[in-house]
A = this chain, B = another copy of it.
Amino acid sequence: MKQEKIELKKQFPSSQRIWVSGEDSDIQVPFREIQLSPTVTEEGTTVNKPVLVYDTAGPYHDTSYTVDVQKGIPKLRTPWIEDRNDTLEYEGRKIVSLDNGFKSNNHKKFVETPFKYQPKKAKTGQNVTQMHYAKQGIITKEMKFVAKREDVSPEYVRSEIARGRAIIPNNVNHPESEPMIIGKNFQVKINANIGNSAVSSSIEAEIEKLVWGIHWGADTIMDLSTGKNIHATREYLLRNSPVPVGTVPIYQALEKVDGSAKDLTWEIYRDTLIEQAEQGVDYFTIHAGVLLRYVPTTVDRLTGIVSRGGSIMAQWCLAHHEESFLYTHFEEICEIMSRYDIAISLGDGLRPGSIYDANDESQILELKTLGELTAIAWEYDVQVMIEGPGHVPMHKIKENQDLADFHCQEAPFYTLGPLTTDIAPAYDHITSAIGAAQIASYGTAMLCYVTPKEHLGLPNKDDVREGVVTYKIAAHAADLAKGVKGAQQRDDEISRARFEFRWYDQFNLSLDPDKARSYHDETLPAEAAKVAHFCSMCGPKFCSMRISHDLRKHNDLKEEGLKQKSEEFVSKGSRIYR
């Protein structure tokens, strides 16, 4: 791959990456510190403390770091993994042309990556999952890291993971990842999908989307590539990603059989799992709940099967008239996962693709099977999350969370939206943010973003930004509703800045400072307007906030008399008119 021309390092204004020590000295947890300007009033100047916010961008937000995508980012977790002394390095699987989508073994055709390493796996008889440690009562460095990130105790993190109610997706072969936790009792997370397709995109573009996505706050990314150089693209992404990377291995397996679902075999799929496990993929979407017997239940749907993985497996089941190999080999899959600590994201291959199909028989049948599979995975101490819909009208959203919690014993729920109406293609980031915020407030742990291009085309950079910021909004709105510790601080600080006409602070505390500032500039570009005690919306005469300040200076309000009178009046029932 040619050296990047694109600028991968991004900064937010008045922000810097800082580190806060965790329980152990080798645990340095990153945050983004936003500097504020002082409050200046007639009474004097008051310093405003900087605000710390959760930061997902890894070294890309570190001013002192030099990006080199050919080298990859630092391997933060390597010493932690090695200290546990339960993995070994081994000669990995050999990469062949087919892994990159080419049939002949002409290696010139596919992109070679510069990354040389031996993969790790569990020593014989060992289980290296975070759930396994948690069940043994061990608090790992990863757990301590996320405890600091979430401002909870390490023991609480351990107990939630042991219980299966939270997961830390982090393959031992992706030591670059900064640990993060997905679970209903933690901050709501968001995932951004990237990946090339047969129709467009390149490795460079995918790395740029990765860094762009995490700059705006994506907590994990999924590489859904289906085109050429799928192995190399994933390798570059993993070596350069500080966030967990998820994939849907059936996509690559299908490429290996030239797109013919009926030619898929358990052996090809298994080999693909190993291939990706050795690269470091942190979670796999596995559509093991699409059973042969469920396929006929989809016939009367308005929009059939809309999950790619689901439709591939349905095709396979019907073609062979056999039960899905993902289901019949599920224990073997779990066994592999436990050697690398890969989390399983149980795919909802039968999710509804329209309001009409929401919460129908197919969907609920599959969900019950996902519950059955969750229990099996947990026997192998494999971390699990459950994928959810899709398209669901608002009044049917809570049922989704409730049924997932019931059937899957509160394993983290990970939904795609849901979209609350079908009538707004080009605005499906919004139709789905409504549903996403709602379902997250009921307990969904991670939200898969939807971009404005959903149903229409592949997202470009602007779409990724719009999708991620929209989903940060949905996640944060749910955090507020759930009362997540400290969540409201950022709201309070930005509102205080707004009320005090600290315009730059208002921009800098927002999810998208550049856009906020540019919108303000459109009507009032002058520097003086950034300290003005009004804006273009109401103008100086009508500025309610300016008036509120004036009101506070009013003598009456300082008089005990009026306040007392007011309380007296209120206590009498607030009626004076009649």
Inter-subunit contact B426/A200 (CB<8 Å): no
**Interface assignment of A95: CB less than 8 Å from any CB of chain B:** no
Interface-central residue, A306, A318, A548, by most chain B CB under 10 Å: A548
Chain B residues positioned under 8 Å from A569 (CB to CB): 293
A14 part of interface (Cβ distance < 8 Å): no
In the bound complex, CA of A433 to CA of B566 (Å):
36
Contact A423 B509 (CB under 8 A): yes
Is B491 a contact partner of A200 (Cβ separation < 8 A)? no
Within residues 429 to 472 of chain A, which ones have a CB less than 8 A from any CB in chain B? 429-431, 433-435, 437-438, 441, 452-458, 460, 469-470, 472
Q: Which residue of B lies closest to A323 (CB)?
A: B576
Copies of the chain in the assembly:
2
**1/0 contact string of A224-253 vs chain B (CB within 8 Å):** 001100000000000000000000000100
Question: A290 to chain B: closest CB distance in Å?
Answer: 11
Say yes or no: A327-B510 contact (C-beta < 8 A), given A199-B536, A393-B477, A550-B315: no
Query: Is A577 at the interface (CB under 8 A from chain B)?
Result: yes
B-facing residues in A503-559 (Cβ within 8 Å): 506-507, 509-512, 515-516, 518-520, 522-524, 535-545, 547-552, 554, 556-557
Interface size on A (CB < 8 Å)?
142
Known: A197-B536, A197-B537, A545-B303. A512 touches B426 (CB 8 A): yes
Q: Are B499 and A302 in contact (CB under 8 A)?
A: yes
Whether A394 contacts B198 in the complex (CB less than 8 A), given A354-B495, A557-B299, comes out as no
Q: A480-B355, A539-B199 are in contact. Are A511 and B424 (CB under 8 A)?
A: yes
Question: Bound state CA distance, A507 and B455, in angstroms?
Answer: 11
B544-A427 in contact (CB<8A): no
Do A491 and B536 touch across chains, with their CB atoms under 8 A apart? no
Q: Does B458 contact A437, Cβ atoms closer than 8 Å?
A: no
Residues of B within 8 A of A548 (CB): 298, 303-306, 311
Given A569-B293, A577-B376, A457-B536 contact (CB < 8 Å): yes
- B356 and A495 contacting across the interface, CB-CB below 8 Å: yes
Instruction: Quote the shortest CB–CB distance from A369 to chain B (angstroms).
Output: 6
A368 sits at the interface (CB 8 A): yes
Task: Determine whether A18 belongs to the interface, using a CB cutoff of 8 Å to chain B.
Answer: no
A376 to B520: give the CA distance in the assembly, Å: 42
- A453-B519, A457-B524, A499-B304 given; A510·B477 CB < 8 A: no
- Residues in B with CB closer than 8 Å to A355 are 480, 488, 491-492, 495
A175 within 8 A of B: no
What are 7 of the A-B contact pairs (CB < 8 Å)? A293-B569, A302-B495, A302-B499, A355-B480, A372-B575, A422-B490, A434-B434
8 shortest interchain CB distances as A-B pairs: A304-B548, A354-B495, A198-B539, A394-B481, A311-B547, A259-B541, A311-B544, A420-B477
